[in-house]
Structure 1
Amino acid sequence: MGLAERRAVEEFKDKQFPALKQEIDQAAGFDVPLEVQWDTLAAEGYSHLYADAFPKVYFVPLRDAVKAIAVDQMGKDALKGGLKKVLVANTKEGFSCSSFSFEGGTLTIDHQPCSNIDDVGERTTGIQKMLEEKL
């Protein structure tokens, strides 16, 4: 990860991530443990896309899926009881929901940061369906 990528990641962490984390927690109704492997998200040569890509690829789909599940008390209780951690990373070079998993209470969102950026709805549906099936 070069200097441009490190700067862009830090800028996102400082300026956008706190509000997105708050929205996720608010949607869930509890403080969702969220681990982000920032060093894996930095795609070489794409730092100019991070501010747009990171929310759309990782955090907006998570927020929207959680919001859809937590529409009633049963959904909120299922999330709080079953979702122990969310891990966000780019380790498998995946570019679709098939690289996501939910095992042992950990939802892993493993996706290339700058691939299929605008497929927010597809990722939201994939996360929601996976959680609803396993909670």
Structure 2
Amino acid sequence: MASRRGLLGLLAVIPLAPLAARAQATIGLAERRAIASYRQEKYPAIEAGIQQAAGFPVPVDVEWDQLTLPGDAAYYAQDDYFGKTIFEPLTAALRSITTDPMGRDALKAKLQRIHIRYDEKTAPASNYPNGLTFKDGMLDINWRPYANTADLQDRTQAITQLLERNL
């Protein structure tokens, strides 16, 4: 009976082992270097493009530590890693909203900041509206980088529709 309990205890732990190892995965030096390079070399132009599309200097808070995924350092500089999955849809949606003075004024009056993050537990795989919220003037984007890179239009539409409902 004691050996059976021991076996059941072991079986109860086995499925959790991969999850525990994954939760403890840390960002290594390669990832830190790659994200620092991206932030210095590419992100300033992207942020300027977002603010230009918005028509005003809207603060953009990026949770880089959440977007920086272990083992992906070699891909950060590729346009489809962050660009096509997060920044290009955001910029395109803002351009869509600000095509006329009414949209520009509404966006400027209601959008106070943009928050970009990735929470593995809550980010949708492809139902992009589920990864967006607009509350108290903050547009929150919770999408996984480098996933479904061909879904640029779907992501853009999700942000555009959310903003249009809330402005």
Band the TM-score falls in, shorter-chain normalisation: over 0.9
Q: Tell me the TM-score normalised to structure 2 length.
A: 0.77
Deviation at 1:88, TM superposition (A): 0.4
Residues in 1 aligned to 2:84 and 2:56: alpha-carbon distance in whole angstroms: 22
- Equivalent residue runs for 1:116-127 within 5 Å: 116-127=148-159
The structure that has the greater radius of gyration is 2
Structure 1 position 101, deviation (Å): 1.1
Matched, 1:16 2:16: no
SS across alignment from 2:125: coil
Residue aligning to 1:103:
135
1:19-41 CA distances to partner (integer Å, 9 max, x unpaired)?
Answer: 01111111111001100000000
Query: Contact between 1:27 and 1:67, CA under 8 Å: does it hold in 2?
Result: yes
Which of the numbers 62, 72, 93 marks the counterpart of 2:100? 72
Q: How does 1:15-94 map to 2 (within 5 A)?
A: 15-51=41-77, 52=79, 53-91=81-119, 92-94=122-124
Higher relative contact order (CA 8 A, sep 6+): 1
What CA distance in whole angstroms lies between the structure 2 residues aligned with 1:100 and 1:120?
15
Tell me the TM-score normalized by structure 1. Answer: 0.94
Tell me if structure 2 keeps the 8 A contact 1:46–1:114: no
Q: Distance in 1 between matches of 2:89 and 2:138?
A: 16
Structure 2: where are the runs of 5+ without partners?
A: 1-26
In 2, the alpha carbon distance for the partners of 1:25 and 1:43 equals: 26
Name the counterpart of 2:9. none
Aligned residues: 135
CA contact (8 A) 1:43 1:114 kept: no
Q: Which runs of 5+ in 1 are unaligned?
A: none
